Structure 1
Amino acid sequence: MHRGRTYDHESVQEFWQYRWNQENPYELSDLEDPLYVLGMFPYTSGNLHMGHVRNYAITDAYARFKRMQGHDVLHPMGWDAFGLPAENAAYERATDPQSWTDSCIARMREEMETMGFGYDWAREITTSDPDYYRWNQQFFREFYEEGLVDYRGAEVNWCPDCETVLADAQVVDPPADVDLDPGTEGVCWRCDTPVETRELDQWFFTITDYADELLAGLDDLDGWPDSVTEMQRNWIGRREGARIAFEVAEYGPVEVFTARPETIHGATYLAVGPGHDLARELATEDATVAEYVETYEESEVAGVATDRTATNPATGEEIPVYVAAYVLDDVGTGAVMGVPGHNERDHDFATAMDLPIRQIVEPDEGESDVEREAATGDGELLDSGEYTGLSTEVARSRIVEDLDAAQLDTQYRLRDWLISRQRYWGTPIPIVHCEDCGPVLVPEEDLPIELPEFVQTRGNPLEAATDWKATICPECGGPAERETDTMDTFVDSSWYFLRFLSPDREDAPFDPEIADEILPVDVYVGGKEHAVLHLLYIRFFARALSDIGLLDCREPVDRLVNQGTVLHGGRKMSETEGNAIAPHEYGAETTRLFVLSAAHPNRDFDWAAKDVGEAYDLQQGIYSLVYEYADGLQLAERDGPAERYLTRELDRTVAAATEDYDRFRIHQAIDEVRRLTRLLGQYRAYETPDAETYRTGLKTLLRLLAPVAPYLAEECWNMLQADGLIVDADWPTVESDIEAYDRERTLVATVRDDVRDIVETAGIDDPERIELVVAPEWKYTAYEIAREQSGDSAVSEVMGDQSIREHGEAAESYAKSLTREGLEPILSRATERAELERASWLLEDEFDAAADVREAADADAELAGRAEPGRPAIHIS
């Protein structure tokens, strides 16, 4: 193929994609203990956006790096293809969801190939394929038989625009420009429509059965970001405390949940949420309560008084009953005993409603003014009858033991997983409804229940599919109707990582033996926004599958990497914001280099044309180096300081980049590539390069580049006429002992900066000679002695060494300079001198002056006296 002096990404991409398709280097036929690298598979939206590119560039870079290190790497891709957006898109385009989804997949797959992502496409899966979703239905059957499925009437979150139920985690805070009606708790996560509440019969997976195990398991997820485990911990929301029954006049007992039963003597009111049964009953009798229940705003502090009182079971005191918005219906029991002296929210409410505030705990930390601020810490009980004087910890258990109205209880914020969705484009739930038998499971041999032909209708098209709905009851043989709800799409994504292991298996969802050998997923990359949805559900699914005997692994992901957001103009880049940039607008290599070099993978970053330009310049600079070499660059055979320095720097670069890739500091690995590119260019221009050293440098550069810019690396590798494809090449190895490579680099950088400062400060226009003087051995000995001491004791310890003490005042002065804490490790004198000699060519090249490295004994005494370990004395003439 024709190669010009400028890198032509379009022709290069087309050629090497063709070669990779021929060679198929990413397909893994033998799953014998591979490294499993997975990016969260995409929803089939129709276009690859920058968020996709960043996510998949991260996994691709890591997979390529590990493959070059000699690992078998499993790196598959598939499609999260079900969901309401596809149904809505089909409705808008007067087509059907299947056709729309298929076209999206074809377009996105082509875009992924163009971006050079190295996937094992033989394992491709699509969740809308009956061969896939039949196993969703099978899991539903087995979960049902295991007691993990529940069918019940419940108040649910309803999106009137999407016309479907939403899980709690799919109700989000509204955008700044959306005003919510009173009583509305949030908006739909998909369309920002205010969410309503409805009563419907729904299907649930009882994830709450695993609440304690899911919570405890977070402590073992060492490879997960703390922010994600904390979000899951808060979402599960385990609270230990007690249920206490307060008798309400003309109603009966109202149970409250409290984590601090020892404060019951300080309860000055009882409050119930607007959705509590008592509130609803009072609303039928009291117009003021009725108006409040209909118009309250969740954020308001105040509430409404009722004409009822409740009896405090610990004191016998009658306390007023309120309806208050701050009491959440789905937290605890929907009722609280108000203890304003020792609970911040109760304090705010009592202050707003002018209710009594009592102090019944003397905090351990000292005096407090509960009229001004709630005292929420532990301490000693006051004015609490027989419990006065007890610590809160002791009283906590004693009060629960003594009160007949109290019992120990543990509460969770986590609710069962509502999987029912009133839409067409999802997995049909394998249930038929019979008037005589009730809900009945569809037999396994009748699976999959496939979707009928799509019918254009607002709402759920399955309700209109009368022929499909009508069926026979598997138990009694009588007429029945199919369940028209389909499953939440998070069911599809809760086990897809298992299907990748056995994508063509027809008799089972996956091979248990392979799964037990390979799992957990070694590295999983995706957005933090999935912390309490997808990531919690896959942990639940793994445990449920384990309990029904299909899987041994109960924690499915070992290491989780969150990728940040791509911004443009400070806002998330998206088509809806009108600030999207097509991933291929700048070419695959420039785009990949930029999104991977802009920031650490877990950081947000803003798309900037200047930074994109730097990525483009880097690729052109690398191409230029290789092109000139292949075009007949004049070479020589030599082994001077420059060659020795470059050989050493290659090892240092390989060591640093290897560590950076391993730790997902891909942006820093690209910095190493950029630094080495500059160094090779400087070496090429300094003098006629040594043939072997320069070629080794170029080959090393390209292998370090290959994970992030595979097209460019492959093209340049071919121009060097290196063996095979670079995708199959070995990762470069470190040939020398470079344990202190970071200190060597720091030494050279510091000396070059110091020389620049002297030249600039002294106004030296044309330096002729640069002399570097290495400190005498006794100073290195003194430094190491001081490193092992602390403070002023360093002086006496250093001066206690006879070989140092004989240097008199100079030794004492130097010892006093070493009394600071935290002295950094230094190079040995021999290593420092060797490194300065290797790097002397850099000074000669930059300043066009001779550079000498000398021992202190061979230098001017005054100059030598200024030399210290890590900071040689410098003289410029």
Structure 2
Amino acid sequence: MSRQDTYDHTAIEQTWQARWDEAGVYRTPNDATDPAYVLAMFPYPSGQLHMGHVRNYTITDAYARYLRMQGEDVLHPMGWDSFGMPAENAAIERESDPREWTMDCIDTMRDQMRSVGLGYDWEREVTTCEPDYYRWNQWFFKQFYEDGLAEQKGGEVNWCPSCETVLANEQVEGEDEHCWRCGTPVESRTLDQWFLSITEYADELLDGIDDLDGWPDSVRGMQRNWIGRQEGARVEFEIPGFGGCEAFTTRLDTVHGATFFALAPGHEVTQELIAENPELEAQVETLDPDADGDEKRGVFTGEHAVNPLTGEEIPVYVADFVLSDVGTGALMGVPGHDERDHEFASEYDIEIRQVVAPADGDGSLDIEDGAYTEDGVLVNSGEYDGLESHAARDRFVDTIESASHHTQYRLRDWLISRQRYWGTPIPIVHCEECGAVPVPDEDLPVELPEFVPTPTGNPIEEVESFVRTECPECGGPAERETDTMDTFMDSSWYFLRFVSPDLDDAPFDTDRANDWMPVDRYVGGVEHAVLHLLYARFFTRAISDMGMVDVEEPFDNLTNHGMVLLENRAMSKSQNHVVSPDEIIAEYGADTARLFMMSVAGPETDFNWTDRGVRSNNEFVRRLHGTVTEFVEGTTETAEAGERPIDEYVAREVDATVAAATTGYDGFRFDEALREARALVTLLRQYRERVTPDASTFERGLRVAVRLLAPVVPHVAEECWEALGEDGFVAEADWPVAGSDVDYAAERRLVENTREDVRHIVDVADIEDPEEIEVVVAPAWKHRALDIAIEADDDVVGSVMRDEALRTRGEAAADYAKDLAANHQSLTEALAPETELAALRRAAWLFEREFEADVTIVPANEADESVAKKATPGRPAIQID
């Protein structure tokens, strides 16, 4: 029976998972001396994992294991983002309780994570729907409230009619503006809601992006765009009978081109206008605020606004593309120089006037066909004609009495109110005498009442025993706030709770948080580039200002993992388009699944799940186990062989593999690291097939390969490590270190390039069975010439031929110098001639094995001159017979 057939993945994986738990291998010390915090975005407990989830968690698990073997104290925790509408909706569908459904899902997913072999410190597990966690959501809310960062205010909000709750701007997606959770088109409503004043931190959040060097550029760009800082000016247009109305513009230089004035439907002047005109009110009600379609719609109010610079009267419209909570809710329409205004003017037959022309043109533009939106010089602007745009903007701020420089943002305050049951109750009591009163700390947490399912609306409102209460200040009758918090509140600080999850008198231990934070490596989906990450950054900065933690940014390095596709489509449980980890683990084992996902592509890259890929990786796992088992049981014959070239080659390749794999793990390029480790296992098998291997060289190669693979295939690595006679866990073993300071990469390139040259000659010359291969290393004088050429500025030939020793080479040196000059820009350093010779001689057995021919490696002075003269540094000459 083949030794590979003795690999019983189920027994091996269950054994080592139990032994890890018993020994507390992944328990994190509180007093870490060399802390490293590795974290995957914690999951919503939806019931079942699929392989996309497993990939995400395997990425951080492999990296945490690697750092642990490097000697660092690693915090690698897991928890559950367990509040939210899906649980509530699932409970209603199943006529059950959201908590019961959620906790069942958590139990299932935790068991699946354990079966995958994820090395979490489960003693630090947090569950956001537990009162001992959301108590601190309420406590943080109170700190924000007391610091003026939380307030209840009215205004237009986004309403999802399917989820029956309001949404933050960040939770409205796409041009058709749909709910991020269910995809339903979002409506606009006017409601009193609770907000956190993230806009107070707009500049800090924007400027801080420049320091996030470890984040993907795409995510940093998305955050910059969402914050959307714009430099411009505020300017007041007078609407006779209604007073001044302020507009924001980034292009005050175009004020002469303003041909209409537009108000948001919810603007206070709009409300005054419709209060006096029922017909106008009916027309305004047909508009769709927040509309983002192709058609811009508006209603002429019958009123006119006065241009503050020219005195010209322009029509006033109420338009659906003007938003109450963006800028001032009013704008000056300049259709000649703004595409949106151009569309609107074209639709309503409003004048389109050019007032800016390209600085390097003749000033003529077909402005009717499209707006000119670039800076230039002013035209049709009276005494200001010829003024450059940037100068005109400053000039008009000085000239127009009501104008002032102003900065505005796309970012809006974070709307945290949700009209749903399954979330953190907002700790506010409403009293007719005292107003909104925070619940005292000693009365926290305000726990959710028993779930009472209702077909529509907020179930909490139906629980009289919860709603009716006493005012904490005056003792009179009051009502509790029935809105719950946005679940992104939970995830904005959970990474801090992991440092001290059992702390009773504070949300986290400040000293420990300062030791561990920021998170060194954070991994999750790019879909959270704005939502979660922006909120977490705000939260961290706010509590840092409150003195709770020293850091201002929560995550040092961020990786957005790619998706695991199935038949070129993203996996989806709702569409039954998934691969179950339970089925894969049962048939092939967790190590096989982990190895496939980590080998096939880098963490950021999407890839297709294939049965063939799974089987191939399973064969490798079995091959690794079999190779170690055969050596331990004596099936692999070894000897004390001395220092043969092949032994030296394998020994150096072991060191080269350590160096390359370590670079891969350090750089979060697991596929490269695994390619190196797998190649080492293949090399060791080739080594034993070629000769009776040197015992110490072969055994060291096995021990290195097992450790290099251990972060990704931890179970079989433990089995092999124990078989090799080690007492402790490989998970706690020291990471291997390369034995000497050698440029292994250059030696590898030399060997592989030379093998490729031999292949090319055999192929082009159609040599079926080569008998002898002679590889000739370039002479030392050519290496000397190359070094001089690399250092030369322009006169390569002159620099080379000025060397006295090279001049004695006469025409040969001159010809080579000309070749060097022709390729001067691409010249690179080469190994010394004696190093080239030694490296190729150590690797000669690879040539012999591949080409089944006698191979000799010789210096140029031992070869025929006609062959030797073709050899150059790094590119030996080759003669095949």
Question: What does residue range 81-100 of structure 1 map to in structure 2 within 5 Å?
Answer: 81-100=82-101
CA contact (8 A) 1:341 1:347 kept: yes
- Secondary structure of the structure 2 residue equivalent to 1:817: helix
**Counterparts of 1:366 and 1:804 in 2: how far apart (Å)?**
61
CA contact (8 A) 1:58 1:601 kept: yes
CA contact (8 A) 2:425 2:446 kept: yes
**Which amino acid in the other structure matches residue 314 of structure 1?**
L
**Counterparts of 1:53 and 1:663 in 2: how far apart (Å)?**
21
Which residue in 1 is equivalent to 2:595? 593
Which residue in 1 is equivalent to 2:442? 445
Which residue in 2 is equivalent to 1:725? 729
Superposed displacement of residue 287, structure 1: 8.4
CA contact (8 A) 2:171 2:180 kept: yes
Which residue in 2 is equivalent to 1:30? 30
**Which amino acid in the other structure matches residue 457 of structure 1?**
T
Which residue in 1 is equivalent to 2:670? 666
Q: Which of 775, 778, 793 is equivalent to 2:781?
A: 778
Which residue in 1 is equivalent to 2:533? 535
- Superposed CA deviations along residues 383-432 of structure 1, whole A, max 9, x for unmatched, are 33343333322221221122122222211111111111111111111111
TM (norm. structure 2) is 0.94
**Counterparts of 2:288 and 2:876 in 1: how far apart (Å)?**
79
Superposed displacement of residue 58, structure 1: 0.8
Question: What does residue range 44-59 of structure 1 map to in structure 2 within 5 Å?
Answer: 44-59=45-60
- Superposed CA deviations along residues 737-763 of structure 1, whole A, max 9, x for unmatched, are 12x322211111111111122223333
**Counterparts of 2:751 and 2:157 in 1: how far apart (Å)?**
66
Runs (5+) with no aligned partner, structure 1: 175-184
CA contact (8 A) 1:78 1:125 kept: yes
Question: What does residue range 508-527 of structure 1 map to in structure 2 within 5 Å?
Answer: 508-527=506-525
**Which amino acid in the other structure matches residue 237 of structure 1?**
G
- Secondary structure of the structure 2 residue equivalent to 1:204: strand
Which residue in 2 is equivalent to 1:380? 377
> Which stretch has the larger CA shift, 550-559 or 340-349?
340-349
CA contact (8 A) 1:786 1:797 kept: yes
> Which stretch has the larger CA shift, 507-516 or 300-309?
300-309
**Counterparts of 1:546 and 1:291 in 2: how far apart (Å)?**
45
CA contact (8 A) 2:773 2:855 kept: yes
- Superposed CA deviations along residues 57-109 of structure 1, whole A, max 9, x for unmatched, are 11111110011011111111111111111111111222111111111111111
Superposed displacement of residue 658, structure 1: 0.7
Question: What does residue range 690-769 of structure 1 map to in structure 2 within 5 Å?
Answer: 690-738=694-742, 740-769=743-772
- Superposed CA deviations along residues 296-316 of structure 1, whole A, max 9, x for unmatched, are 953224444623332211111
- Secondary structure of the structure 2 residue equivalent to 1:16: helix
Q: 1:293 to 1:450 in 2, by over 3 A?
A: same
**Which amino acid in the other structure matches residue 487 of structure 1?**
M
Q: 1:651 to 1:387 in 2, by over 3 A?
A: same
> Which stretch has the larger CA shift, 203-212 or 794-803?
794-803
Superposed displacement of residue 774, structure 1: 0.3
Superposed displacement of residue 117, structure 1: 0.6
> Which stretch has the larger CA shift, 751-760 or 489-498?
751-760
CA contact (8 A) 1:677 1:701 kept: yes
Superposed displacement of residue 489, structure 1: 0.9
**Counterparts of 1:15 and 1:360 in 2: how far apart (Å)?**
78
Q: 1:263 to 1:693 in 2, by over 3 A?
A: same
- Secondary structure of the structure 2 residue equivalent to 1:44: coil
- Superposed CA deviations along residues 723-746 of structure 1, whole A, max 9, x for unmatched, are 4211111100011112x3222111
The answer as to 2:131 corresponding to 1:117 is: no
**Counterparts of 1:658 and 1:297 in 2: how far apart (Å)?**
53
Q: 1:230 to 1:783 in 2, by over 3 A?
A: same
- Superposed CA deviations along residues 265-301 of structure 1, whole A, max 9, x for unmatched, are 1222223345445556458434894475159953224
Which residue in 2 is equivalent to 1:178? none
**Counterparts of 1:268 and 1:384 in 2: how far apart (Å)?**
13
**Which amino acid in the other structure matches residue 299 of structure 1?**
G
Q: 1:584 to 1:831 in 2, by over 3 A?
A: farther
- Secondary structure of the structure 1 residue equivalent to 2:183: coil
Which residue in 2 is equivalent to 1:215? 206
CA contact (8 A) 2:289 2:323 kept: no
Superposed displacement of residue 353, structure 1: 4.5
Q: 1:304 to 1:200 in 2, by over 3 A?
A: closer
- Secondary structure of the structure 2 residue equivalent to 1:454: coil
CA contact (8 A) 1:302 1:353 kept: no
**Counterparts of 1:329 and 1:614 in 2: how far apart (Å)?**
59
Superposed displacement of residue 352, structure 1: 4.7
Which residue in 2 is equivalent to 1:854? 858
- Secondary structure of the structure 2 residue equivalent to 1:628: helix
Q: 1:554 to 1:195 in 2, by over 3 A?
A: same
| Paired-residue identity, % | 56
CA contact (8 A) 1:299 1:326 kept: no
**Which amino acid in the other structure matches residue 538 of structure 1?**
A
**Counterparts of 1:4 and 1:359 in 2: how far apart (Å)?**
79
- Secondary structure of the structure 2 residue equivalent to 1:585: helix
Count of residue pairs the alignment pairs up: 864
Which residue in 1 is equivalent to 2:497? 499
Q: 1:292 to 1:816 in 2, by over 3 A?
A: farther
Which residue in 1 is equivalent to 2:482? 484
**Counterparts of 1:354 and 1:839 in 2: how far apart (Å)?**
81
Runs (5+) with no aligned partner, structure 2: none
- Secondary structure of the structure 2 residue equivalent to 1:852: strand
Question: What does residue range 336-735 of structure 1 map to in structure 2 within 5 Å?
Answer: 336-367=331-362, 369=365, 371=367, 372-458=369-455, 459-587=457-585, 588-632=590-634, 633-638=636-641, 639-735=643-739
CA contact (8 A) 2:30 2:512 kept: no
Which residue in 1 is equivalent to 2:292? 298
Which residue in 2 is equivalent to 1:10? 10
Q: 1:287 to 1:23 in 2, by over 3 A?
A: closer
Q: 1:674 to 1:364 in 2, by over 3 A?
A: farther
**Which amino acid in the other structure matches residue 640 of structure 2?**
E
TM (norm. structure 1) is 0.95
CA contact (8 A) 2:289 2:321 kept: no
Superposed displacement of residue 22, structure 1: 1.3
**Counterparts of 1:206 and 1:151 in 2: how far apart (Å)?**
11
Superposed displacement of residue 361, structure 1: 2.9
- Secondary structure of the structure 1 residue equivalent to 2:812: helix
CA contact (8 A) 1:299 1:325 kept: no
**Counterparts of 1:355 and 1:746 in 2: how far apart (Å)?**
69
**Which amino acid in the other structure matches residue 13 of structure 2?**
Q
CA contact (8 A) 1:289 1:323 kept: no
**Counterparts of 1:286 and 1:21 in 2: how far apart (Å)?**
71
**Which amino acid in the other structure matches residue 213 of structure 2?**
D
CA contact (8 A) 1:39 1:526 kept: yes
Which residue in 1 is equivalent to 2:803? 801
**Counterparts of 2:789 and 2:7 in 1: how far apart (Å)?**
54
**Counterparts of 1:122 and 1:288 in 2: how far apart (Å)?**
61
Q: 1:292 to 1:486 in 2, by over 3 A?
A: closer
The alignment yields a C-alpha RMSD, in angstroms, of: 2.1
**Counterparts of 2:829 and 2:362 in 1: how far apart (Å)?**
50
CA contact (8 A) 1:284 1:290 kept: no
**Counterparts of 1:52 and 1:789 in 2: how far apart (Å)?**
55
Superposed displacement of residue 655, structure 1: 0.9
**Which amino acid in the other structure matches residue 628 of structure 2?**
V
**Which amino acid in the other structure matches residue 600 of structure 2?**
A
**Which amino acid in the other structure matches residue 455 of structure 1?**
V
- Superposed CA deviations along residues 95-146 of structure 1, whole A, max 9, x for unmatched, are 1111111111111111111101111111111111111111111111111111
**Counterparts of 2:178 and 2:594 in 1: how far apart (Å)?**
35
**Which amino acid in the other structure matches residue 29 of structure 2?**
S
